[in-house]
Amino acid sequence: MTVPNLLRPEEKIFVALDTDNMDEALRLADQLGDTIRTMKVGLQLFFKSGPVILDRLHERGFQVFMDCKFHDIPNTVAGASDSVTSHGVYMFNVHVGGGVEMMRRAKQAAVLRAEKLGIAVPKVIGVTQLTSTSQGVLNEEIGIPGDIRDCVLQYARLAQQAGLDGVVASGHEIQAIREACGPDFLTVIPGIRPTWAAANDQARIMTPTDALRAGADYLVIGRAITHAADPRAAALRILEEVQASEGAVQ
Ligand SMILES: O=c1ccn([C@@H]2O[C@H](COP(=O)(O)O)[C@@H](O)[C@H]2O)c(=O)[nH]1
């Protein structure tokens, strides 16, 4: 049975706490806590804070998306997936480029560890092509020929075949992934830029409103919120824009 995504916009936004300072990360989370439910912890913060950041966020009632992008041989990724699952994270990710067997082992390890601990199985998400990768970089540097959308789509199909719960992709690929993988396969979308924010190092960007209209399950937003003079006001502005556009569509 297909379950429509009935989450409210604020439940669909993951804020990327990209800082090397745990106190700053927690201050940001506290400022956003009455609106945002899920925080994304990446390698910069994790290597400075260690797993205690996950405990601190969980104590405050946040869900955590652990953005570790595992990419190694299947046995090593299975071990890492077991370890990250033991911290009770809501979601973690692996690179689809590691192959189907690697992804299958990641999911299997997450299921086994969660069952042993009696906790919810984390969503395991495959990273297709990074949103900082442009068409030119894909073809000329990485050496993958063809249209980037086709590549992302092929990776999404592989992730689904391996039993993953969804993929990280850009807003430009959401509709194609939906058509190919169905409505229950999650799309987690970084490279989100409101019209008033700079693109920075992102190549395949989309506004929050357009990404949600295209059917994104979750948006990952970092600097547009965290580097704003007032992060809470920036988050509320994004939510207002999304809600205004929802009203305009009805
Ligand atoms: O393809 C990808 C995968 C992950 N990310 C991560 O999302 C955030 C985006 O931050 P912004 O400041 O909004 O650009 C960041 O933590 C990345 O590591 C991504 O951007 N693209």
Residue reference for tokens 């990419």:
71
- In sequence order, the 6+-apart residues with CB closer than 8 A to the CB of 29 are 15, 17, 39, 57, 60, 62
Q: Break the chain into its structural domains and give their ranges.
A: 9-248
In this structure, the strands spanning 218-221 and 13-16 are parallel
Q: Quote the ligand 1 centre to 191 CA distance (angstroms).
A: 6
Residue 2 scores a pLDDT above 70: no
Q: What pLDDT does residue 5 have?
A: 63
Q: What pLDDT does residue 122 have?
A: 98
Q: Quote the ligand 1 centre to 39 CA distance (angstroms).
A: 13
Q: Which of 4, 12, 14 is nearest to 212 (CA)?
A: 12
Q: What is the mean pLDDT of residues 29-56?
A: 97
Which CATH number applies to 9-248?
3.20.20.70
Residue 250 scores a pLDDT above 60: no
The residue to mutate among 40, 131, 133, having the most atoms of ligand 1 within 8 angstroms of its beta carbon, is 131
- In sequence order, the 6+-apart residues with CB closer than 8 A to the CB of 205 are 131, 170, 171, 191, 192, 193, 199
Asked if 107 is an active-site residue, the reply is no
Q: What is the mean pLDDT of residues 188-195?
A: 98
Residue 55 in tokens: 């405990």
Marked catalytic residue, from 12, 67, 107, 217: 67
DSSP classification of residue 11: G
pLDDT digit string, tens, across residues 105-127:
999 999 999 999 999 999 999 99
Residue 6 scores a pLDDT above 70: no
Asked if 67 is an active-site residue, the reply is yes
Calpha distance 27→23 (Å, rounded): 6
The phi, psi pair for 138, rounded to 5°, reads -60, -45
Q: Quote the ligand 1 centre to 40 CA distance (angstroms).
A: 10
pLDDT digit string, tens, across residues 197-234:
999 999 999 999 999 999 999 999 999 999 999 999 99
**57 band by pLDDT with thresholds 50, 70 and 90:** very high
Length of the chain: 250
Calpha distance 22→83 (Å, rounded): 21
Ligand 1 in reach of 168 Cβ (< 6 A): yes
Ligand 1 in reach of 232 Cβ (< 6 A): no
Q: What pLDDT does residue 7 have?
A: 80
Q: Which residue has the higher pLDDT, 16 or 250?
A: 16
